[in-house]
A and B are shown apart, each in its own frame.
Chain A
Amino acid sequence: EIVLTQSPTTMAASPGEKVTLTCRASSSVSYMHWYQQRSGASPKLWIYETSKLASGVPNRFSGSGSGTSYSLTINSMETEDAATYYCQQGSSYPLTFGSGTKLEIK
């Protein structure tokens, strides 16, 4: 099973601040996918195939990485970006999710 480790677990950012969330895989994966989950809501696909933004995702978001190290970056934090972000690998079964990074607004 591929274990995904996200860091940090929680963080707070000020409006306008650049934010980087990290996801490390225990074995190499071909792509990483990211989901945003706001409080009380279902997860939403946010970034897929490492760097492609899902429909409606603002272009201040970006994704990058390869092998065992991936990241999600917010170029300029906005209030609406406060949420929990999960990474997910779909390269091998069982499919696995990271434990999430809770991003709060300062």
Chain B
Amino acid sequence: TQLLEQSPQFLSIQEGENLTVYCNSSSVFSSLQWYRQEPGEGPVLLVTVVTGGEVKKLKRLTFQFGDARKDSSLHITAAQPGDTGLYLCAGSTQGGSEKLVFGKGTKLTVNP
């Protein structure tokens, strides 16, 4: 069974602080995705990374895929209350008709 471990499980910070969320596995993934989920809604895709060592930026969010494609991180700079939500990483096990394996998520609260 391929597992994705996310840490920390919970994170409560003040507006303006920086934070990093980690997603680790012993398995290699062909691609890795990050989602954000808000209460009462389904997850929304933020980014997909496919190449080992790849770094993608989305405004104040920076995503990195590990060189060995087993881990990833999400860094948020100058967090804002609107960043509050559940952040999920999901790994794709193979190309084509693969299924996604999700981490259990990091619940982020940004206090004004």
Instruction: Decide if A and B are genuine partners.
Output: no
Residue positions of B touching A, CB distance < 8 A? none
